[in-house]
Chains A and B, each alone.
Chain A
Amino acid sequence: MIAPNRKGEVWIFAEQEDGTLHDVALELCGKARELADHLGVKVGAILPGWNVRELAYRLIQHGADDVYLSEDRRLEHYQTLPYARVVTTLAEKHKPQIVLFGATPLGRDLAPRCASAMRAGLTADCTDLDVADVPDPAAKTTHKNLLLQIRPAFGGNIIATIINPERWPQMATVREGVMPLGEPNMQRQGEIVAEKIKFDDNDFAVRLIERHREPRKVNLKGARTIVAGGGGVGSKQNFRVIHDLAGAIGGAIGASRAAVDGGFIDKAHQIGQTGTTVRPALYVACGISGAIQHRAGMEESAKIVAINWDKEAPIFGVAHYGIVGDLNQVVPMMVKAIKERPKE
């Protein structure tokens, strides 16, 4: 652990695979920039890998000031122990005040290993971050500028704000897709700091034998429009109307857990707490009641249209436009209206 260090940078872990940065790394850059500006410090990015220098420029364009580049042939594919060695060695050397990781399978494997080694606090799967002064009545003091780590807890039934007042760095994993992915600024300047890390033979105790990646078949995160169906659609056959509307708009198809559990559509389409978090320009929710777990994955959408026969359905609580009616009539009307729409 390191002592609270108000001058410390705000760091992000730059997750990459096969020479491609994960979107969440760039989302974190944007958020880190915002936090660092508030704190008056710099943004640092930790970039371990092999032949990944090019990625440092993208991190800088998205808000990083310093990119700590640690290249080693043995870091080509992610492995917990050597990557944790990179993070902890650099954190102990540069003493950042905040370290953020994407809450991806990789980030959730790496971050706790690092936090434990540094005996620092770690909050999992945050959906929001902020900085604020926090009074501590017991110690009759106020902790200045603490990182507020905000996350759903208890199966999504509550929202908890977690702080880490003393044992720094303040570490968190952040859910993919909840922070906006900003536009790159090609003019931004930053520094690439090459870091040589000393490894131990034990760091390579786990040997990678075989590796298989599946291209993402359903691109919900990149979609500008999403048409999603829920339990109210009723059957796999009836899910056709969702496909029709998505086809007419040129959007992706989403689903609530009820629709996935009902076998109407594959799990890859699931939106919500267990599934993908999305923030498209338009989200059309058809026959989705809007359980908290679902809303958590879509309520940041710019425009939400909800179609449900039940006017008390919680989905209307987050909707911008609500249509109370039978989706079997409403959705075909919408398909027709979209096909005949005036062009701007």
Chain B
Amino acid sequence: MPYHSIVCVKQVPDTANITGEAMKADGTVNRAALPTVFNPDDLHALEVALDVRDRWGGTVTVVSMGPPKAADVLRDCLYRGADRVILLTDRRAAASDTLATSYILNQAVRHIGNYDFVFCGRQAIDGDTAQVGPQCAEKLGIPQVTYLERLIDLRDRTARIRRNVGNGWEIVEVRLPVLVTVLDTAGEVRPPAARRVMKYKRARVRAELVAAVAAAGGAGVSPADVEREVERRAETLRSRGLMLEQWDLDDIQADLKWCGLAGSPTKVHRVQSIVLTKQGYTEIPPTEEGIRRLVRELVVDHTLG
């Protein structure tokens, strides 16, 4: 019996390699200044979805919300075996907090429709909140199973899942549809397939074509010319199955009052870069006498018994 999965993935700044230009003056992240990566947990979410399809049949549809550049991770999904990818991009979605993001993703999932599973990574490395998955499940009105480590079995539209709860594990059973968040300990992720890389590396979303044509045109090119050229390129890509879907908030019938800044109850009040508190410390010489004095001091102030 085939199962249809939707996977939510995110392109994230590589927070392990941050430089000083990462923050803008208003305290928001200057994403353009950072190298980007496929959010690690999301790769595992994709893998579980692909595994379900390979074992039981069905489809894997991937949706990513982000700027046009996020099409990179969607191409990566195609290389690894996704059937369909969709970029959800809209300036009006900018500054969404986790609640607004989960509303928008829930609208996208509803618009895709006919699903058995929604898979998300447990959390994204730029925010580390782990909130969007559970919030999206609530908005879809379906149960959630967080922290999947292994999909044990699937029969008669019932999934048996082993989840890691930190101080142990448990096995739960749930009727589909369900939203599942996946841990990065959920096993190996398949690599991109060379044949699919060759096929999909030229796949583009419309926003990428617009940017490429505008960059190539230089000054003096009219908007109508740009439009015509974009349409010509899009037609060529479409005929080869390489035109990727791009949706905006209108396409998914999102109510703008729940999107972007307006839809976000939490606001960033202040952002501080980490500065060491330079209160100074007592320097102890690395000698027997110096260390004996330190130990004595710690005994006297009852730090050591």
Contact, CB under 8 Å: A159 / B134: no
Contact, CB under 8 Å: A323 / B291: yes
CB contacts (< 8 Å) of A123 on chain B: these are: 266
A154 in contact with B138 given A121-B99, A325-B286 (CB within 8 Å):
no
CB contacts (< 8 Å) of B143 on chain A: these are: 80-81, 202, 205-206
Q: Mark out the residues of chain A between 144 and 194 whose CB falls within 8 Å of any chain B CB in the assembled complex.
A: 148-149, 153-167
Q: Mark out the residues of chain A between 115 and 131 whose CB falls within 8 Å of any chain B CB in the assembled complex.
A: 115-117, 119-125
Contact, CB under 8 Å: A303 / B303: yes
Q: Quick one: which of B175, B269, B286 contacts A329, CB cutoff 8 A?
A: B286
Main SS of chain B's interface residues?
A: mixed
Contact, CB under 8 Å: B266 / A206: no
Q: Mark out the residues of chain B between 257 and 299 whose CB falls within 8 Å of any chain A CB in the assembled complex.
A: 264-274, 276-278, 281-288, 290-292, 294-296, 298-299
Contact, CB under 8 Å: B130 / A124: yes
| Chain B residue at smallest Cβ distance from A160 | B271
Q: Quick one: which of B27, B131, B264 contacts A115, CB cutoff 8 A?
A: B131
A205 in contact with B175 given A113-B138, A159-B272 (CB within 8 Å):
yes
Nearest 10 interchain pairs by C-beta:
A325-B286, A155-B15, A121-B265, A317-B276, A124-B129, A167-B265, A213-B168, A116-B138, A121-B266, A116-B135
What's the Cα separation between A281 and B301 when bound, in Å?
Answer: 11
Contact, CB under 8 Å: B274 / A157: yes
Contact, CB under 8 Å: A165 / B267: yes
Q: Mark out the residues of chain B between 95 and 134 whose CB falls within 8 Å of any chain A CB in the assembled complex.
A: 97-99, 102, 125-134
CB contacts (< 8 Å) of B98 on chain A: these are: 112, 122, 124
What's the Cα separation between A323 and B138 when bound, in Å?
Answer: 53
Number of interface residues of B (CB under 8 A): 81
Contact, CB under 8 Å: B288 / A134: no
Q: Quick one: which of B18, B22, B145, B302 contacts A344, CB cutoff 8 A?
A: B302
CB contacts (< 8 Å) of A3 on chain B: these are: none
Q: Choose, from B81-89, B159-167, B233-241, the stretch at the interface.
A: B159-167
A-B contact pairs, 24 of them (CB 8 A): A106-B165, A115-B99, A115-B131, A153-B271, A155-B15, A155-B126, A158-B274, A162-B267, A205-B175, A206-B143, A206-B173, A207-B173, A207-B174, A209-B170, A209-B173, A211-B171, A213-B168, A281-B303, A282-B298, A317-B278, A321-B282, A336-B288, A337-B291, A341-B296
Q: Smallest distance from the beta carbon of B107 to chain A beta carbons, Å?
A: 14
Q: Mark out the residues of chain A between 37 and 55 whose CB falls within 8 Å of any chain B CB in the assembled complex.
A: none
A160 in contact with B268 given A212-B168, A322-B282 (CB within 8 Å):
yes
Q: Report if B56 contacts A (CB, 8 A).
A: no
Q: Smallest distance from the beta carbon of B26 to chain A beta carbons, Å?
A: 12
CB contacts (< 8 Å) of A154 on chain B: these are: 13, 15, 18, 22, 29, 126-127
CB contacts (< 8 Å) of B281 on chain A: these are: 306, 316, 319-322
CB contacts (< 8 Å) of A209 on chain B: these are: 160, 170-173
CB contacts (< 8 Å) of A117 on chain B: these are: 138
CB contacts (< 8 Å) of A205 on chain B: these are: 143, 174-175
Q: Quick one: which of A1, A214, A225, A325 contacts B265, CB cutoff 8 A?
A: A1
CB contacts (< 8 Å) of B298 on chain A: these are: 282, 303
What's the Cα separation between A216 and B143 when bound, in Å?
Answer: 30
A159 in contact with B271 given A124-B129, A323-B286 (CB within 8 Å):
yes
Q: Report if B304 contacts A (CB, 8 A).
A: yes
Main SS of chain A's interface residues?
A: mixed
Q: Mark out the residues of chain B between 185 and 228 whose CB falls within 8 Å of any chain A CB in the assembled complex.
A: none
CB contacts (< 8 Å) of A164 on chain B: these are: 265-267
Q: Mark A314-344, 1 if CB is under 8 A from B, else 0.
A: 1011111111111001100110111011111
What's the Cα separation between A167 and B266 when bound, in Å?
Answer: 8
What's the Cα separation between A254 and B95 when bound, in Å?
Answer: 39
Q: Report if A137 contacts B (CB, 8 A).
A: no
| Chain B residue at smallest Cβ distance from A331 | B291
A166 in contact with B296 given A211-B170, A320-B281 (CB within 8 Å):
no
| Chain A residue at smallest Cβ distance from B129 | A124
Q: Smallest distance from the beta carbon of B242 to chain A beta carbons, Å?
A: 35
Contact, CB under 8 Å: B265 / A344: no
CB contacts (< 8 Å) of B304 on chain A: these are: 225, 249, 282, 338, 341
What's the Cα separation between A337 and B23 when bound, in Å?
Answer: 47
Q: A105-B147, A205-B143 are in contact. List 15 more A-B contacts (CB 8 A).
A: A108-B131, A109-B146, A112-B98, A116-B134, A121-B266, A122-B99, A122-B266, A154-B127, A155-B15, A155-B16, A157-B273, A202-B143, A302-B303, A320-B281, A342-B299
CB contacts (< 8 Å) of A106 on chain B: these are: 165
Contact, CB under 8 Å: B299 / A148: no
Contact, CB under 8 Å: A161 / B99: no
CB contacts (< 8 Å) of A213 on chain B: these are: 167-168
Contact, CB under 8 Å: A216 / B276: no
Q: Report if B92 contacts A (CB, 8 A).
A: no
